[in-house]
């Protein structure tokens, strides 16, 4: 990453990883259930220097704080609060959103909820949608809900290669980078993953929603990326998504399951083409997504300088 911002949301500190901090356009990229914002390193480089990428670490992951109250903080409604706080911190009224798995569902809820819908300029869902295979969800909950302890770092890396084979990662260097960003040392000198094991409690505490109703309510341009071998997002679900949203742009990635890493040109180029258009189908203004909130502009006109 090129920069790091730490934002306090209530009692939790949220880390936002940033690439190309001086770029004219801004995009929020949100990671999956047990990952962190560092996953978007190669995506940011592929997308190019005209895009500032803001990639938060959801609480309980990466560099962000862990919660003492998972039932309150490791749920989508609180993640939506954090997303709004991140936008406010950076003065973003409206911004494109790219979300992998959990991060895509979060973007979908932001785009569907009346209070936040106008803030999502366009939405890219990476291997996720309003309908997910129950067996895939059960596998995720079971795997990440169990403790993971590795005596040696090499054992952790080998397990990452096994579990994240669906990412389609190529090359020893890429796997090593993933391992370095995924490891946390335990007090006894052994290794485990970077995240709080209690993040999976969202499967217990979160309030069920009619996600198909959420999907139908979205009015911004939509794109879905699917790993061809995905165990979570089935091809039939993408077909149904297109029936509900006829303007949906879809892209299938061969050689990937859940979820494409978005780390190479043939995965990022279709997303770049989708992002290049504004909601009206015209090239987006270079600075239109970085305006300050209306109340900050009003204070400035009244002579109150300083950050809100």
Rounded Cα–Cα distance for residues 48 and 42 (Å)? 10
Rounded Cα–Cα distance for residues 17 and 41 (Å)? 9
Would you state the pLDDT for residue 278?
A: 61
Half-sphere exposure for 88 (CA within 13 Å, toward CB): 13
Would you state the pLDDT for residue 123?
A: 98
Would you state the pLDDT for residue 207?
A: 83
Q: Is residue 99 part of a domain?
A: yes
Domain residues for the domain of 121 are 3-133+197-301
Rounded Cα–Cα distance for residues 157 and 154 (Å)? 5
Rounded to the nearest 10 degrees, what angle do helices 102-112 and 76-89 cross at?
Answer: 80
The tens-digit pLDDT sequence of the chain (308 residues) is 999 999 999 889 999 999 999 999 999 999 999 999 999 999 999 999 999 999 999 999 999 999 999 999 999 999 999 999 999 999 999 999 999 999 999 999 999 999 999 999 999 999 999 999 999 888 888 898 888 999 999 999 999 999 999 898 999 999 999 999 999 999 999 999 999 999 999 888 888 899 999 999 999 999 999 999 999 999 999 999 999 999 999 999 999 999 999 999 999 999 999 999 864 443 343 333 433 443 444 444 444 433 33
Q: Is 14 helix (H, G, I), strand (E, B) or coil?
A: strand
Half-sphere exposure for 243 (CA within 13 Å, toward CB): 8
DSSP string, 33-92: TT--GGGGHHHHHHH-TTEEEEEE--TTSTTSPPPS-HHHHSSHHHHHHHHHHHHHHTT-
Residues 92, 102, 85: CA angle, nearest 5 degrees: 25
CATH of the domain at 65: 3.40.50.1820
Would you state the pLDDT for residue 254?
A: 96
* Token reading at 247: 């303007």
Would you state the pLDDT for residue 204?
A: 86
- Going by the DSSP 8-state scheme, the letter that residue 215 receives in this structure is H
CA distances from 297 to 89, 251, 280 (A): 14, 39, 25
Q: Is residue 79 part of a domain?
A: yes
* Token reading at 132: 């997910």
- What's the domain count of the chain? 1
* Token reading at 125: 């869902």
Q: Is residue 125 part of a domain?
A: yes
Q: Is residue 61 part of a domain?
A: yes
- Note whether 178 and 168 are within 8 A (CB): no
Beta bridge partners of 14: 7
Q: Is residue 248 part of a domain?
A: yes
- Note whether 253 and 269 are within 8 A (CB): no
Q: Is residue 277 part of a domain?
A: yes
Would you state the pLDDT for residue 8?
A: 96
- Note whether 74 and 202 are within 8 A (CB): yes
Residue 83 CB neighbour total at 10 angstroms = 28
Q: Is residue 169 part of a domain?
A: no
Half-sphere exposure for 24 (CA within 13 Å, toward CB): 7
Three-class SS of 144-183: HHCCCCECCHHHHHHHHHHHCHHHCCCCHHHHHHHHHCCE
- Note whether 128 and 31 are within 8 A (CB): no
Q: Is residue 306 part of a domain?
A: no
Would you state the pLDDT for residue 145?
A: 83
């Amino acid at each position: 990453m090129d920069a790091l911002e730490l934002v306090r949301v209530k009692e939790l500190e949220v880390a936002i990883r940033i690439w190309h901090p001086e770029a004219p356009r801004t995009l929020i990229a949100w990671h999956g259930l047990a990952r962190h914002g560092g996953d978007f390193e190669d995506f940011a480089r592929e997308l190019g220097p005209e895009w500032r990428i803001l990639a938060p670490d959801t609480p309980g992951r990466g560099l962000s704080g862990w919660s003492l109250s998972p039932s309150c903080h490791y749920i989508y409604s609180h993640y939506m609060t954090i997303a709004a706080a991140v936008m406010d911190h950076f003065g973003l009224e409206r911004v494109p959103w790219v979300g992998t798995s959990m991060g895509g569902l979060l973007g979908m809820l932001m785009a569907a909820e009346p209070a936040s819908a106008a803030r999502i300029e366009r939405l890219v869902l990476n291997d996720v949608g309003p309908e997910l295979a129950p067996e895939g969800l059960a596998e995720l909950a079971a795997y990440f809900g169990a403790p993971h302890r590795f005596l040696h770092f090499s054992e952790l890396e080998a397990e990452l290669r096994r579990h994240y084979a669906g990412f389609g990662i190529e090359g020893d260097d890429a796997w090593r980078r993933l391992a370095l960003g995924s490891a946390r040392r335990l007090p006894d000198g052994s290794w485990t993953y970077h995240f709080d094991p209690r993040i999976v409690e969202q499967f217990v505490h979160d309030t069920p929603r009619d996600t198909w109703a959420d999907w139908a309510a979205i009015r911004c341009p939509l794109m879905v990326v699917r790993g061809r071998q995905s165990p979570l997002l089935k091809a039939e679900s993408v077909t149904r998504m297109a029936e509900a949203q006829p303007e949906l742009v879809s892209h299938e990635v061969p050689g990937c399951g859940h979820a494409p890493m978005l780390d190479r040109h043939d995965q990022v180029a279709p997303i770049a083409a989708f992002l290049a258009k504004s909601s009206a189908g015209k090239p987006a203004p270079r600075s239109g997504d970085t305006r300050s909130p209306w109340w900050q502009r009003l204070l400035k006109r009244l002579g109150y300088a300083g950050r809100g």
